[in-house]
Structure formats: C-alpha cells, structure tokens
C-alpha cells in the first residue's frame, strides 16, 4: 500500500484498548484512540504514538458513533481496521438476580452490544472502500462459560460472538470479522474490586495451564494476529492461558 493502514480502536485510553493501540502502532499502523470519558489519558496516548489522534465519543450514542468514524476518516483519509473494545460491566454475583436489574442490563447492552453494532454500521462503507479490511470485536470467555462479572455482561458478550459470526458471513470478501475472547486480564476494571481480583487471580494461577493471569499485551498480540489473518473470518480466538481446555 502507498499509505499505511488506519485502525480505529474504541475504548482505548487504558487497559486492553491502549495495549491494542500501541501494538498496532508498533507495526506502522496509524491509530485513532477513543474513549467516552478519560479524555486526558486518551490524548496522552495519542501523543505517545508516532501517528495517532484522539477522538472523544460514546459508542452507545448513535450520533457519537457516526462522528467517531467520520473523524477517523477525516484525520487519515481512510479506515482499514475497526477494533470494538469499548465495554462496561457491573460486578454482580451470578446468583444475585435482584442485583442484575433492568438498569444494569440496559447499561451493559447499550455499550457492549448496541455500541458495537453502531460502530460497525458506521464504519462499514469506509471499510469496504479499503478492499482488505478487518473488524475485531473484544468478547470474553464468559460468553461461552457459566462465569463472569455478572449475568448481563456474560450474555452481552455471547451476543457479540454471534454478531461476529453473522456479520462475517455477510461482509466478506472485503471485510473480515473476528473476535478475541480474553479470560482474566489484569486491567483497571478491577480498581475498587480488589477482593474479587485477588481471589480470581489466585484461582486462575492455580488452575490454568500457563499458571498466570493474562495481560493487556496478550490480548493485543491476539488482536494483531486476527487483523493480519487474511484467510480467517467468523472466528472467536480464546486468550485465556489454556483455561478453556482444563
């Protein structure tokens, strides 16, 4: 290509999203950083990378989703890669049916499912113009196993997996659609939930073949693989240190 590819990574001011942005940038890909809040951190990350810009916006808002995509294309003239990393959760025990109230379901689905859909629909015309484009959705192992931070969160990620496969069947050959499904990853999500984090980390370390929890960089490496995997679409790549085989 005469110009390097352009990637838009939602929810990328910290954690997994920031690691993905850094990894893509390390390959010479121009990157658009996004967050709904955390504007200062997003701008700092964009300044850190060689060719990057920051765009504030909430993916759960349809107008914002369109504006984020439009701003990415205005900044770099094209869009080749969309990574849907923006997500929210609530820490609610799976047996606490009252704790997972309707407000929790709406909040989580608005970002994790509807936000992902809105970003894809806004980006698709530009990705088609690329001719060899890639969408990577960030899912979770909780989409396929009876675990997770809450029932609404796990169900939202199951929806993301099915959306991934449905769209892979419809958007080819010009756009590949895949997902990464992380296990327990050490991210800022656990701030304020140290007891949950410590017990989860100890259990995973003891029962996972690789004997450790994951890092954002582990997920970033898997994401880069899917971005470049020219003959892979409709796949959900598990990144959990082998826990799913035990």
Q: How far is CA 74 from CA 53, 69, 71, 80, 218, in A?
A: 11, 9, 5, 13, 31
Instruction: Write the DSSP symbol of residue 244.
Output: G
- Distance in angstroms between the alpha carbons of the first and the last residue of the chain: 43
Please name the helix (run of DSSP H) or strand (run of DSSP E) that holds residue 7, with its range, or none.
Answer: strand 6-9
Structure tokens at 222: 């898997």
Q: For residue 28, count CB atoms less than 10 angstroms from its CB and return exposed for 0-12, middle for 13-18, buried for 19 or more.
A: exposed
Contact 33, 12 (CB under 8 A): yes
Say whether the peptide bond before residue 58 is cis (omega within 30 degrees of 0).
no
Report the b/e string of 118-151 with b at 16+ CB within 10 A.
bbbebbbebbeebeebbbbbbbbbbbbeeebbbb
Structure tokens at 144: 């396929």
Q: Within 13 Å and on the Cβ side, how many CA atoms surround 54?
A: 22
Q: Which residues are catalytic?
A: 153
């Amino acid at each position: 290509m005469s110009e390097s590819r352009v990637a838009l990574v939602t929810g990328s001011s910290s954690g997994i999203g920031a690691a993905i942005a850094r990894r893509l940038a390390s390959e010479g890909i121009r990157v658009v950083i996004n967050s709904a809040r955390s504007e200062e951190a997003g701008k700092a990350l964009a300044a850190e990378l060689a060719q990057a810009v920051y765009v504030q916006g909430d993916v759960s808002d349809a107008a914002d989703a369109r504006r984020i995509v439009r701003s990415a294309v205005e900044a770099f003239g094209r869009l080749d890669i969309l990574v849907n990393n923006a997500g929210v959760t609530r820490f609610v025990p799976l047996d606490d049916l009252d704790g997972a109230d309707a407000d929790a379901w709406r909040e989580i689905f608005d970002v994790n499912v509807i936000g992902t859909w809105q970003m894809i629909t806004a980006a698709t015309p530009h990705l088609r113009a690329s001719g060899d484009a890639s969408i990577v959705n960030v899912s979770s192992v909780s989409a396929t196993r009876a675990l997770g931070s809450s029932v609404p969160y796990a169900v939202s990620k199951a929806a993301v997996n099915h959306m991934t496969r449905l769209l892979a069947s419809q958007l080819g050959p010009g756009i590949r659609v895949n997902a990464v499904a992380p296990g327990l990853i050490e991210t800022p999500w656990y701030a304020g939930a140290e007891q949950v984090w410590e017990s989860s980390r100890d259990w995973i370390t003891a029962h996972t073949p690789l004997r450790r929890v994951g890092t954002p960089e582990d997920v970033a490496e898997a994401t880069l693989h899917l971005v470049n995997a020219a003959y892979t679409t409709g796949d959900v790549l598990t990144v959990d240190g082998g826990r799913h085989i035990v």
